[in-house]
Structure 1
Amino acid sequence: MLKDLTTITLIAVAPLLLVRSAEASPELKPFQEEAKADFDEAMAEPLKAANEACGLKLTVTSEYEKFDAKEWSGRAHYSWCVPVLEQIKSLCEKRPAYKKVLVKKLKSVSCVFSGVKPAEKKDGSSDFTIRNMEFKGSAFVFHMATNQANVGDSAKTVLEKALNE
C-alpha cells in the first residue's frame, strides 16, 4: 500500500518537476543565442589551455538571458572573460604553490552580465573591476560591465587573495 502511494505521488508530481526544469533554462532571443555562440567559441581555446596547465576540468558559464546587445554594441563581450582564464593558466604554469591550492578550490568560472556593483568616485583604474570579481564557493564569478579595465590584473589580484585565505 505504501509503495503504491509513493508511486502515485511521484506520477502526480512529475509534471510539476518538468515545468520547473523548463523555467530554469530560459529561452534565449536570437541575438542572445548568437552572443552565446560567440562566447562559447571564444572560450574554447583559453579554457582548454587553462585546463591543461592546471590538470583540471573547469567549466565556464554565463547568463545570456541577461545579455544586453545595446550595452555591449561594438564590443567583443566574451573578451572580458578570456583574461580570467589566462590568469588561471598563468598561475598554474608559473606558480606551483598557487597551482596546488587552485586545483583544490576552483571548479568553474562564471562571467555574468548581472549583479554589477557600481563604480565609485574614489576608484582607481582596477578598483571597479576587482569589486565585481569574487571567489564564491568553488567558482570564480566575474560580474562584467563595459567600462571595466585591467581585467587580467584584477583577476590575478582576486585569485591570489582567495587562494591565500
Structure 2
Amino acid sequence: MSRRRIIPMRFLRLPAVLGFTAALVALGAPAAIAVPASSGATSFDYDTCFPQGDGSTFCARGTTTENFTVTPSGSMTLSYHNNGTTTYTGVEGCTDSTSNRTSINYLLTPDATQAYHVTDRSRSTLTCFGANKTCTLTTVFTLANGVVRVDRQNGTCTPV
C-alpha cells in the first residue's frame, strides 16, 4: 500500500455518492475508466485548515483508502473508505467537531453499475454560548441490480 498526502476538496455524503454513481452509469462506467487489471490500495492522508472570511476556520484531518480491481470477466470493484475528523471554529466562540467513518463499495460490470453499498457514521458535537449538543447519524444504503435493498437512516441528539 502506498501513502501520499493530499488536500481533499470535500467529504463524500450520500447525495454526492448517488450523483457519482449516476454519472458512472450514464458514462458507461467500465468503458469510461481505463485502469490496470489490479491497481491495489492507495491511501491518502490529509490535514489542512481553511480560514473563512468571517474569522471562522474549517479544518479536516484523516485518511482515505481506495482500492480498484478489474476481474478477467470485465467486472470491477471500487472500494472507498474514509476515517476523519472535521472541526469548525466559528465566530463568538462556537465550535463544531465531527468524527466520520465512511465506507463505499461498488460492483461495476461492462453494462452498468450492478450494486453499491454505502455506510456512513458520524458523531458531531456543537458547543456554542456554553451549551453542548452531540448528534450521532448513521446511514446505510444498498442498491443491487436497480433495486434498493437497504435504505436506513437513524440519528439521535443529546440534549434534545
**TM-score higher than 0.5:** no
What range describes the TM-score normalised by the shorter chain of this pair? under 0.3
Q: Could you state the TM-score of these two structures normalised by the residue count of structure 2?
A: 0.27
TM-score by length of 1: 0.26
Greater Rg by CA? 1
| Structure richer in strand, relative to its length | 2
